[in-house]
Amino acid sequence: MELKQRYIVVEGPIGVGKTALTRALAKHFAARSVFEIIEENPFLASFYQDRNKYAFQTQLFFLLSRFKQQQELFQQDLFSQATVSDYLFAKDRIFASITLDPNELALYERVYQHLGPRVMKPDLVIYLQARLDVLLARIRKRGRDFERKFDAEYLAELSRTYNDFFHRYDETPLLVINTSDIDFVESDRDFEELIRALGSIKAGTQYYQPLGTRA
């Protein structure tokens, strides 16, 4: 099956499985994959040690590096090959809203307002959710050094803010998936069901329910 959407974004809180699903979709559809550059942020490890002190530097670095990556990506011909990305540019504001103090956030928003309109919107956003215990388990499993002492309260707040953001999101078609009890990477059946679901995506927000969980 050919991918109807030329540009798909996979989103969700830390640990939910964005990158893994992006890789799987790109491989299945022979699409170009775009990954958020996490480890290159020189402030990130310090941020996890002292969020208040390093939040603004961390967030501004992410905003500018994501913008640069988006600009380079879409200087290419988007329609020559489908693209799957593991982040939505607008997600940067989710993190900023919970990490920055009011003065920092006001300055951040001034920068964002100049950059956001210059980024291409996707044809579809896939929003992945999961319970907090599942997110923490997945973070521990991937074993990144700077995430070893991950703050569960911060992750819970981040998940709530993601839910609030996508509850109001209407800029593109949106597919919401709770991944707490499914695994698109380890389970061929889960992945194949998702592929079939992508073929019937319509405008607005839709909620994906795997066949095995339907009453």
Catalytic residues: 86
Helical packing angle, 92-99 and 152-168, nearest 10° = 130
CB count within 10 Å of CB 42 equals: 10
**Residue 151 contacts residue 125 (beta carbons within 8 Å):** no
How far apart (Å, rounded) are the C-alpha atoms in residues 138 and 16?
7
What order do you get walking across the sheet with 32-34 strand by strand? 32-34, 83-85, 7-11, 124-129, 174-178, 205-208
Distance of CA 73 to the CA centre of its chain: 17
Concatenating the DSSP letter of every residue in 59-73 gives HHHHHHHHHHHHHHH
